Amino acid sequence: MGPIMLDVQGTSLSAEDKELLEHPLVGGCILFSRNYHSPQQMTALTREIREAAGSDILLAVDHEGGRVQRFREHFTAIPAMGSLWSLAGEDNARAIQLAYQCGLLMALEVQAVGIDISFAPVLDINGVSEVIGDRAFGRQTDMIISLAAAFIDGMKTAGMPATGKHFPGHGSVREDSHIALPVDPRTFTDISSLDLKPFKALLAKGALSALMPAHVIYPEVDTLGVGFSAVWLQKILRQTLAFDGVIFSDDLSMEGAAVIGGYVERAEAAQQAGCDMLLVCNNRSAAVEVIDNANIRIDPAGSRRLGKLLKTSRTDWASLAGDSRWQQASRFIKDLMSKE
């Protein structure tokens, strides 16, 4: 599987989409709201993408719940993770049950239209970052760990591997890395004792199959942003935390990546630092530039890791309503949200 994940333009494939998807360096495709019209159309699109690629390709979406849910009409409205505690009446056991059902239902619905993974859950702390905010499970690390673990258990019941983001934590910096370059001046000890705790706890449980680093610079650890830093990705994540799953770059088109240089330089730096898959989204010319000019390679170890994320579920949208797991999760979530 190639190391580039790109996007497609609309609800069906253009000739240019097909040409890019069949390139050997392309091993992934991320879907957005503009690609969605109905479950049936999305199922047809994901099938078309796989046929155009001609070999294994990883299909992904950001479908966390709350304000980050790409598909809405006909899909169940999933609450923001930061609202689970209050929706559950501040009852811990009920909140854990709700998190589990949200993870299960999200994974069932996403996979039913032919997509392999959702980039979830967010393991950041709901601190000063507005772009994170209620995407996080809470402000306390113990709450984040317990609710995220339940959400992941739900995903895994449906057969979907979990991708934790944004390593080692984006919640304690105010700037939005989509439009700026966040810098966090704290020491590694401070980061490790707070933001990194959910990642360490869930890695220790073997709960995470993939991670996505933050476009944040922690100058007390390294002068490079996490997604371009061998210190963070190789020394800390691979060696110290013994993580052997997939490392996705965050979108290389984001402003937080611009400090590295142009798109070619960003892709090369991210792979050299240890990213298995490089996301180049919502910028077709950048994706073409990376494919044509970047000195990147297909890495056998990275391909092996990526292959483990491909879905094995055969559930389709037509049969979803008859799935007892979906029925129970949908009813549980809708009941609690109706009482809000």
List pLDDT tens digits, range 121-174: 999 998 777 789 999 999 999 999 999 999 999 999 999 999 999 999 988 776
The mean per-residue pLDDT over the stretch 294-317 comes to: 95
Predicted pLDDT at 256: 56
* CA trace torsion 30, 287, 279, 220 (10° rounding): -160
Q: Was 166 annotated as part of a binding site?
A: yes
Q: Was 74 annotated as part of a binding site?
A: no
The mean per-residue pLDDT over the stretch 200-206 comes to: 97
Q: The pTM is what? A: 0.95
Mean pLDDT comparison of 79-93, 169-183, 250-264, highest-scoring range = 79-93
Q: Was 311 annotated as part of a binding site?
A: no
Q: Was 18 annotated as part of a binding site?
A: no
Predicted pLDDT at 68: 96
Cβ atoms of 96 and 143 closer than 8 Å: no
- Around Cβ 130, how many Cβ atoms within 10 Å? 8
Domain ranges of the chain: 4-338
Q: What share of the chain is helix, strand, coil (3-state, %, to 5)?
A: 45, 10, 45
Please provide the average confidence, as pLDDT, over all residues in the chain.
Answer: 93
Among residues of the chain, what percentage have pLDDT more than 70? Answer: 96
Q: Was 135 annotated as part of a binding site?
A: yes
Predicted pLDDT at 250: 81
The band of 230, judged by pLDDT with boundaries at 50, 70 and 90, is: very high
Predicted pLDDT at 67: 94
Q: For domain 4-338, which architecture applies?
A: Alpha-Beta Barrel (3.20)
Task: Enumerate the active-site residues.
Answer: 178, 250
Predicted pLDDT at 339: 73
The mean per-residue pLDDT over the stretch 63-85 comes to: 96
The band of 228, judged by pLDDT with boundaries at 50, 70 and 90, is: very high
Q: Identify residue 310 by its one-letter amino acid code.
A: L
The mean per-residue pLDDT over the stretch 164-189 comes to: 80
Is the Cα torsion angle 228, 224, 256, 166 positive or negative in sign?
A: positive
